[in-house]
């Protein structure tokens, strides 16, 4: 049984000392065998491998969240098959059972055709998930919108949640950047108001992030979904949309995936496929629109690496420019953007934004201004220069210090052309077009 323990620091210490580390956008993940101490706290067997997830303090809010992963997995234990178990949760870490196997991304990278047997297994997971209703799940947050089977209301609520949980928290830092890229502050609010009429579909549990990194092919030939931290409650058709976008199937496979999903739903939630031909594009548009925000933010953060070194800076700027331009191209139509900047313009905007300043590490939401030389008027510099020569008894000092005084005069007057120092710091991380978690 999952437990709450006051031993997070011990879990983190052990994970950092003996665990195999991997880094995601939101967590630092460590795989390690249970020690005697951890096994007593978790109720597991010593030596059994577990996954310890430690939230990253520098992570920015770029996803919609409903529950904590620990909270959801406790509810799913014994209800949904082949789901990782939450063994313990603390203020500083979550301990999950480790699924032995390879991620689908390791054997079938993005863009590569996916075997039909794997597709069938994944849509079956989505079908089983969608069959779970409110009674089997944790309580929704108190401010969560209530939409029942109102699909239009759900899409509008999703858009409002994206505005509240993604755009607003980051706007004080990145708002100027988005404005220069042609993305207005109220763009998601306008999109929510224009939500189209849609067919009613029953709500259920959604995985919310089923892509190649979050599918594990186990050593005993099972296909298991991991990383449930973005799971939510709503229209099952939205889960299909996020799956299609984030899996990066070849375009020719989309129809086969959609048909397989509809067939799987027929045995669990038949009404979930109602009106799918007309309504699926609306959810695809939303997914592409909201992805503009994490894509731009992550690209901008990546520029904090190596800005003092020209070769590294040029490479980072090229990658950031490509990611932002691609995100704008994909999201322009659903967001209703009128003037999408050229790639050269994107590069210029990113360069100017970065050199103007970046976030102060440890103080999210604030900007670190560029350091500048103090400005002193030219008349005051001349006065000081004349004063240095007024003491007839200080000839030796004048001879030795004359060059230094003149140099100070030139620099203060802005004649030396020295560049201002760069205050950008902290490493960012990769984000290719759509959200990847972990």
Cβ-based neighbours of 210, under 8 Å, separated by 6 or more: 122, 125, 126, 225, 239, 242, 243, 246, 247
Output the pLDDT for position 321: 96
In the 8-state DSSP scheme, what is residue 369?
E
Q: Which parts of the chain have pLDDT scores under 50?
A: 1-7, 359-437
Q: Three-state SS for 255?
A: helix
Nearest to 101 by CA among 14, 198, 200, 226: 226
Question: pLDDT tens for residues 141-177?
Answer: 987 877 889 999 999 999 999 999 999 999 999 999 9
Nearest to 237 by CA among 188, 197, 204: 204
Output the pLDDT for position 309: 66
Output the pLDDT for position 308: 59
Nearest to 267 by CA among 116, 79, 126: 126
Sign, Cα dihedral of 232, 237, 240, 242: negative
Please give the Cα distance from 340 to 32 (Å, whole number): 47
Output the pLDDT for position 322: 97
Nearest to 90 by CA among 124, 56, 55: 55
CB 178 within 8 A of CB 214: no
The residue length of the chain stands at 438
* Residue 75 Cα distances to 93, 135, 136, 230, 387, angstroms: 19, 10, 7, 15, 80
Output the pLDDT for position 116: 97
CB 38 within 8 A of CB 13: no
Question: pLDDT tens for residues 207-233?
Answer: 999 999 999 999 888 999 999 999 999
Output the pLDDT for position 45: 87
In whole angstroms, how large is the CA radius of gyration of the chain?
A: 27
Please give the Cα distance from 32 to 49 (Å, whole number): 5
Output the pLDDT for position 56: 87
The pTM for the full model equals 0.79
Output the pLDDT for position 306: 54
CA dihedral 170, 423, 432, 221 (to 10 degrees): -100
Please give the Cα distance from 293 to 163 (Å, whole number): 10
Output the pLDDT for position 393: 38
Nearest to 23 by CA among 50, 59, 64, 48: 59
Output the pLDDT for position 184: 96
Quickly tell me which residue has 């994490």 as its tokens.
Answer: 294
């Amino acid at each position: 049984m999952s437990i709450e323990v006051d031993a997070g620091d011990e879990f983190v210490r052990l994970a950092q000392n003996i665990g195999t580390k991997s880094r995601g956008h939101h967590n630092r993940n460590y795989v390690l065998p249970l020690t005697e101490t951890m096994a007593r706290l978790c109720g597991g067997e010593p030596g059994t491998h577990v996954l310890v997830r430690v939230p990253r303090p520098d992570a920015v809010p770029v996803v919609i969240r409903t529950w904590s992963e620990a909270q959801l997995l406790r509810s799913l234990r014994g209800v949904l098959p082949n789901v990782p178990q939450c063994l313990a949760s603390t203020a500083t870490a979550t301990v999950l059972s480790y699924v032995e196997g390879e991620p689908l991304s390791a054997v079938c990278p993005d863009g590569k055709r996916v075997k039909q047997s794997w597709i069938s297994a994944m849509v079956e997971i989505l079908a089983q998930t969608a069959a779970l209703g409110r009674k089997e799940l944790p309580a929704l947050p108190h401010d969560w919108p209530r939409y029942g089977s109102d699909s239009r209301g759900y899409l509008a609520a999703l858009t409002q949640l994206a505005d509240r949980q993604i755009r607003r928290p980051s706007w004080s830092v990145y708002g100027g950047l988005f404005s220069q890229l042609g993305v207005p502050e109220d763009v998601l609010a306008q999109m929510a108001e224009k939500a189209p009429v849609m067919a009613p579909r029953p709500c259920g549990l959604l995985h919310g992030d089923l892509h190649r990194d979050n599918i594990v092919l186990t050593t005993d030939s099972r296909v298991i979904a991991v990383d449930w931290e973005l799971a939510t409650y709503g229209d099952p058709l939205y889960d299909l949309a996020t799956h299609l976008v984030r899996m990066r199937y070849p375009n020719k496979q989309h129809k086969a995936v959609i048909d397989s999903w509809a067939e799987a739903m027929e045995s669990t939630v038949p009404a979930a496929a109602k009106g799918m031909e007309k309504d699926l594009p609306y959810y695809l548009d939303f997914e592409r629109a909201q992805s503009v925000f994490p894509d731009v933010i992550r690209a901008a953060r990546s520029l904090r690496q190596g800005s003092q070194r020209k070769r590294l800076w040029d490479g980072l700027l090229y990658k950031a420019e490509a990611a932002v331009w691609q995100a704008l191209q994909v999201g322009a139509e659903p967001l209703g953007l009128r003037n999408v900047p050229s790639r050269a313009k994107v590069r210029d905007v990113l360069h100017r934004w970065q050199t103007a300043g970046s976030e102060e590490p440890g103080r999210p939401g604030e900007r670190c201004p560029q350091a500048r030389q103090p400005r002193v008027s030219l008349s005051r510099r001349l006065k000081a220069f004349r004063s240095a020569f007024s003491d007839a008894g200080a000839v030796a000092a004048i001879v030795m210090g004359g060059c230094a005084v003149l140099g100070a005069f030139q620099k203060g007057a802005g004649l030396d052309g020295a560049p201002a120092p760069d205050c950008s710091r902290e490493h960012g991380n990769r984000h290719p077009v759509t959200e990847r978690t972990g």
